[in-house]
Amino acid sequence: MEYRFNEIEKKWQDQWKADKVYKVSNESDKPKYYVLDMFPYPSGAGLHVGHPLGYITSDIYSRYKRLKGFNVLHPMGFDSFGLPAEQYALETGQHPADTTEKNIATFKTQLDKIGFCYDWDRELRTSDPQYYKWTQWIFLELFNSYFCNTQQKARPIADLVKKYETKGNKNFTAAQWNAFSKKEQEDILMKRRLAFCAYGEVNWCEALGTVLANDEVVNGVSERGGYPVEKKKMRQWYLRITAYADRLLEGLEKVEFSDSMKEMQRNWIGKSQGAEMDFTIKTSNEKLRVYTTRPDTIFGVDFMVVAPEHELVNKLTSADQKKSIEKYLAYVKSRSERERLAEVKQITGCFTGAYAINPFDGKEIPIWIAEYVLAGYGTGAIMAVPCGDQRDYNFAKHFNIPITNIIGNHYNGEEANATKDAVLENSGFLNGLLMKDAIDVAVNKIEELGIGKRKVNYRMRDAGFSRQRYWGEPFPIIWTDGIAIPLDAEELPLILPPVDKYSPGPEGEGPLANITDWVYLRDLTPSPSPKERGVGDHSIGDSAIGLGRGDSKESPGYFNSTEQEWRNTLPFAKDNRKDLTEAENIVWQEVRDRKIEGFKFRRQHPIAGYIPDFVCLDKKLIIEIDGEYHNEPEQQKFDAARQNWLAENGFEMIRFTNDEIKKSLKQVIETISKKLKEEESLSTNEAKKVEANTTEANNTESEKLHKAAGSSSPLFWRGAGGEVKRETSTMPGYAGSSWYFLRYMDPHNAATFCDRKASDYWNQVDLYIGGTEHAVGHLLYSRLWTKVLFDLGYIGFEEPYKKLVNQGMITGVSQLNNRGDKEEIYKILVSSNLTAIHDLQARNFGNRLMSHYISSDLITDVNKLVRIHVNVKYVDSNKLDIATYYNESLQDKDSIFYTKEGYFVDGKWYDYKHNIVEEKKFFTSSEIEKMSKSKLNAVNPDDLVLKYGADTFRMYEMFLGPVEMSKPWDTKGIEGVHRFLRKLWRLFYDDLKGKVWNEEKATDAELKILHRAIKKIDEDTERFSFNTAVSTFMICVNELADSKCHKKEVLEKLLILLTPYAPHIAEELWNQLGNQGSVLDAAYPTFNPALLVESSKEYPISINGKVRANINLALDLDQAAVEKMVLQNDIVQKWLEGKDPKKIIYVKNKMVNVVV
């Protein structure tokens, strides 16, 4: 019986799926363990062998923890919003939802083949409305919170409002606050919200038509596509991450991330301690405020520099410098971001004509403007100390500004010295102090004089949260009169509406801005309060909101609204809920709590800008209770319009009068109940009809999306004023990924993002595995979101990830063909004495323009050749399978390949006498590069799984090297691991003899082999040294094979050890051994140290540190006995050459060293 891995793996994968062995419960007596992979973006290219590295690591560890008795959560999902799908949509017109769906399907198939133990029931996708509903919800929480500086935590903005209403703040009194207009109040609050809107400079990429995050811009061009990026002012959403800078820094102390990872985050946050101080200006009353980390150098200030964008530039500029400054400002403006970054070394600047006064010695300091000072950092102005700062030095030299030396001979006059260890000179009251110590002295003095104060600065900026894109979460925000109104939580998700084209909207807005029907909302009439109802019902009847101006064609009907009234819509819905009329209350008592046929009714639930009295959303049934029916023609027209809309969207409405309810409630309930049942049969019929008519092609994800969008929007309709407008940007990629680890804990919860019980149980992610590329982006943002949710009391921990392991990149070995000019290649061939020039010229190809390739073993000068990537599948150890390559892949068939022994052209080999010959060897060059489709060096895991099996593939990926290191991929080595698994198989079944395993009692020697492996594998797995664990398996199997051990007692323990690494073969053999139940739930073997106890050891004996002999010594010998034994040894005697040893060092269980 041979090892038929394909059959075995298929069999067990099916079995496990059927038995739901990977299903994880939120309730268990076992301790919990949460293992999480950074979920993938489902790109169209599919997986290459680099991707599964992290997944295999987490899978092994999950299975290991499960065997060790933990309840392990190990989910997988997809980060399915993002730019590539949208780019693809722009090019092909395919809806991102469709391409994403297709890509996810491919990913899942590929992942499943490798045999991961994901609980797919918990799968999530960030683009799923049921998921992004809660992304939007958390956004609203951020919007409705502020950072309380006294408590250093997030609190509801309502608390702040209450404070303003009762106490005011340092800028205004409570009375003033209450007198502010709504807009003024909102503007003040906006400056405190954690998710806020502001005008800011953003990285605008014209070509992509979108704003990019800083980490999406590389060297002034877009990371994707390499298009130019410029600065542009736009209204943007931001997350106030700067408020959390200190807590994000502190949190790093409590988590296990690698040093480099922590360092990257610290760098990004960029905390610096210093002082802010004001300089008076000679000819003006203005003060110039600068930020410095080195107040000790105050006497070395030779000039000041302000950023060109600084607000004081105009005021500072003197009349005679005006022209030069204007010229300089124009120059700065003309420079693109790219140029500024590219020409860092170029020194530019202009004198303003103004002077600042040094407060300590009264020295007049010229004020300059220059690009090298950034408006966005500190105060946008610096005090320049040329002897201590290289940039200041270069600037001073360039513009011939005299340099003051305050650090004596630490300054050599040729370059700045940023030391803190010099003793200050020429420094007034700081003279004679060490710079380190002078910092504090200077700040104290500055504070004492009241001209400045200590100040901490951060390099990190608030995180831009708007993207002018389509394929992202829409903001649940509506704008009117410059005020941002959040949607009610009940109205989420705000579904991403379908668009016809994916090109940007006007003014750099996102594609959503093009859907005017969706963007512009109807002016709305508020629902009258119940008390008003019945009074003056000639204007408004039921609790409907007016639907629009009569002059608008697509929305005929009633109108009497103002924006102010519209803003009150949602509060009205809430008010109405508290304050029911008598008749409404009677009905509510009958329909609440799913009393009728188990259907859930909501009261006063806003739908499409209209608040019905009761609605059953599942059945789309609306119940209205009226004081009386509407009789006025205008009102009837309005009712008809609304009815139309509701009907179009599948809603049905039944009305009852107050009288009907009071007099014949029973009948009313019956009518409702009948309606619900009727609806049911109708909708099932309809569903059947739809099913029958729908082919696969037209029931795509995007269509489902469109249907979903149709049912929930429009919430409001276009108003004549056009002032009521939705936010048209969408959230960035990191929105959905900032909290996904929480959703896995409770993925199907419709009532909340994650039940508190679930998040209390699973708590932090114990092990998080992913690449370093998310070091600053995703990790910082998700840490921020977690802290906010913690502050607001929604979860019980504030760091999301306890331990982070970064898998290294698997680099590809690219294969390159060398192409050159005909003359160049002829020269090589002739100079290698392979042929003569006239022989080469004798071969005539007529008019064909040939490409000439040369085998790499003939190359002398690489620079004269062009290298062209060849798909690695045609190459084995640099030898090109030229025939297959020629047939399958070579674009330019007019090609000749020259080798040492002949050449290949038109599918045939010739020697240099032009006779047809058998195959020759043509070699490529190779180079290690990042694995990618375009470099043709990507290796598909599917092919390997097919050829060697998932178990071999998993183990080989781990065997390559330490998980955290980057390493090149070499497909050849996989043979070794495959041989190992076959050898393991042969311990159980021989190809000829069949079953060889037996139930004999294991010997001590055999148990020793086993327990050595248990110890090492357990330890190695625990510390993620999977490569050495794999070699330990190999050693163990080699030893068992050598000692011909086929005993079940030993082998079955080995299978349990192997389960995390090679689950399929382990399960199969476990089953073959006659074990009941799955090996996935076996008990992990415990190491018995007694079995490894030795009485003696071969000690290496070194003389002066060099090993010269080995002596077997008993372990219980003391120093004296060892010395005696060692000195008796012949080899030791030989090396002593008759001398006496100075010293003998004996380290028990290690070695003996004789010092001569």
Partner RNA sequence: GCCCAUGUGGCGGAAUUGGUAGACGCAGCAGACUCAAAAUCUGCCAUUCGCAAGGGUGUGAAGGUUCGAUUCCUUUCGUGGGCACCA
Which parts of 505-564 interact with RNA (CB under 7 A)? Answer: none
Nearer to RNA, 40 or 388 (CB): 388
Return the bridge partners of 420, or none.
none
| Binder among 979, 995, 1044, 1124 for RNA (CB under 7 A) | 979
Nearer to RNA, 181 or 1149 (CB): 1149
| Binder among 244, 959, 985, 1024 for RNA (CB under 7 A) | 959
Query: 728: which residues sit within 8 A by CB, 6+ positions away?
Result: 468, 505, 509, 510, 512, 513, 519
340 binds RNA, rule: CB under 7 A:
yes
Nearer to RNA, 592 or 1148 (CB): 1148
Encoded one letter per residue, x for contact with RNA by CB under 7 A and - for no contact, window 866-905 reads -----------x----------------------------
Total binding residues toward RNA, as defined by CB under 7 A: 89
Encoded one letter per residue, x for contact with RNA by CB under 7 A and - for no contact, window 144-183 reads ----------------------------------------
1019 binds RNA, rule: CB under 7 A:
yes
372 binds RNA, rule: CB under 7 A:
yes
Nearer to RNA, 267 or 560 (CB): 267
> How far is the CA of 731 from the CAs of 83, 211, 714, 865, in angstroms?
11, 11, 20, 47
| Binder among 143, 177, 268, 588 for RNA (CB under 7 A) | 268
Kind and range of the H or E run holding 842: helix 837-842
Nearer to RNA, 3 or 904 (CB): 3
* Residue (of 48, 181, 43) closest to 103 by Cα position: 43
Looking at the chain, how many residues does it have?
Answer: 1156
| Sites for RNA among residues 559-598 (CB under 7 A) | none
Nearer to RNA, 372 or 1070 (CB): 372
Nearer to RNA, 27 or 1042 (CB): 1042
| Binder among 530, 534, 627, 968 for RNA (CB under 7 A) | 968
Q: Residue 857 — φ and ψ, nearest 5°?
A: -75, -5
| Sites for RNA among residues 453-482 (CB under 7 A) | 457, 459
Q: How far is the CB of 1055 from RNA (least distance, A)?
A: 19
Kind and range of the H or E run holding 1145: strand 1143-1147
Tokens of 336: 């693109």
Q: Which ranges of 252-295 does DSSP label H, i.e. alpha helix?
A: 259-269
The span from the CA of 1016 to the CA of 1091, in Å, is: 14
| Binder among 1041, 1091, 1117, 1136 for RNA (CB under 7 A) | 1041
82 binds RNA, rule: CB under 7 A:
no
| Binder among 10, 231, 391, 602 for RNA (CB under 7 A) | 391
100 binds RNA, rule: CB under 7 A:
no
Q: How far is the CB of 291 from RNA (least distance, A)?
A: 5
973 binds RNA, rule: CB under 7 A:
yes
- Longest Cα–Cα distance of the chain, Å, equals 127
249 binds RNA, rule: CB under 7 A:
no
299 binds RNA, rule: CB under 7 A:
no
Q: Residue 572 — φ and ψ, nearest 5°?
A: -60, -45
226 binds RNA, rule: CB under 7 A:
no
By three-state DSSP, how is residue 1025 classified?
A: coil
Rounding to the nearest 10 degrees, give the CA dihedral for residues 50, 52, 54, 60: -140
| Binder among 962, 1088, 1117, 1141 for RNA (CB under 7 A) | 962
By three-state DSSP, how is residue 86 classified?
A: helix
Strands (E), 282-318: 287-292, 303-306
417 binds RNA, rule: CB under 7 A:
no
256 binds RNA, rule: CB under 7 A:
no
| Binder among 201, 652, 839, 1020 for RNA (CB under 7 A) | 1020
| Residue 492, amino acid | L
Contact 484, 729 (CB under 8 A): no
| Sites for RNA among residues 1096-1125 (CB under 7 A) | 1098, 1100, 1102, 1104-1108, 1110
Tokens of 834: 């392979």
1031 binds RNA, rule: CB under 7 A:
yes
Per CB under 7 A, the segment of 26-34, 231-239, 465-473, 1147-1155 that binds RNA is 1147-1155
Nearer to RNA, 719 or 770 (CB): 770
Q: How far is the CB of 737 from RNA (least distance, A)?
A: 17
The span from the CA of 1041 to the CA of 984, in Å, is: 8
270 binds RNA, rule: CB under 7 A:
yes
Per CB under 7 A, the segment of 247-255, 369-377, 554-562, 567-575 that binds RNA is 369-377
Strands (E), 393-505: 452-458, 463-464, 477-480, 483-486
Nearer to RNA, 69 or 976 (CB): 976
| Sites for RNA among residues 983-1012 (CB under 7 A) | 983
| Binder among 715, 938, 1034, 1132 for RNA (CB under 7 A) | 1034
Q: How far is the CB of 1150 from RNA (least distance, A)?
A: 3
334-342 own/partner pairs: CB under 8 Å, 24+ apart: 335/371, 336/220, 336/228, 336/230, 337/203, 337/220, 337/229, 337/230, 337/231, 338/219, 338/220, 338/221, 338/228, 338/229, 339/220, 340/220, 340/371, 341/219, 341/220, 342/219, 342/220
Q: CA 457, 458, 462 angle in degrees (round to 5)?
A: 130
Nearer to RNA, 377 or 794 (CB): 377
| Residue 923, amino acid | F
* Residue (of 508, 583, 496) closest to 97 by Cα position: 496
Query: 953: which residues sit within 8 A by CB, 6+ positions away?
Result: 52, 114, 941, 944, 945, 974
Encoded one letter per residue, x for contact with RNA by CB under 7 A and - for no contact, window 750-789 reads ----------------------xx-xx-------------
1153 binds RNA, rule: CB under 7 A:
yes
Neighbours of 1130 (CB within 10 A): 8
Nearer to RNA, 349 or 505 (CB): 349
Tokens of 159: 């608390």
Per CB under 7 A, the segment of 153-161, 164-172, 378-386, 891-899 that binds RNA is 378-386
Q: Which residue's entry shows tokens 């002077």?
A: 355
| Binder among 42, 274, 714, 747 for RNA (CB under 7 A) | 274
3 binds RNA, rule: CB under 7 A:
no
Count CA within 13 A, CB hemisphere, residue 875.
25
1092 binds RNA, rule: CB under 7 A:
no
Nearer to RNA, 29 or 1042 (CB): 1042
967 binds RNA, rule: CB under 7 A:
yes
Nearer to RNA, 23 or 1044 (CB): 1044
Q: CA 639, 643, 649 angle in degrees (round to 5)?
A: 155
The span from the CA of 559 to the CA of 641, in Å, is: 12
Question: Computed over its alpha carbons, how large is the radius of gyration of the chain?
Answer: 38
* Residue (of 877, 854, 868, 865) closest to 934 by Cα position: 868
Nearer to RNA, 642 or 1016 (CB): 1016
| Sites for RNA among residues 123-142 (CB under 7 A) | none
Tokens of 595: 């009393």
Q: How far is the CB of 442 from RNA (least distance, A)?
A: 12
1027 binds RNA, rule: CB under 7 A:
yes
317 binds RNA, rule: CB under 7 A:
no
Query: 447: which residues sit within 8 A by CB, 6+ positions away?
Result: 453, 454
| Binder among 965, 1005, 1120, 1121 for RNA (CB under 7 A) | 965
Nearer to RNA, 46 or 220 (CB): 220
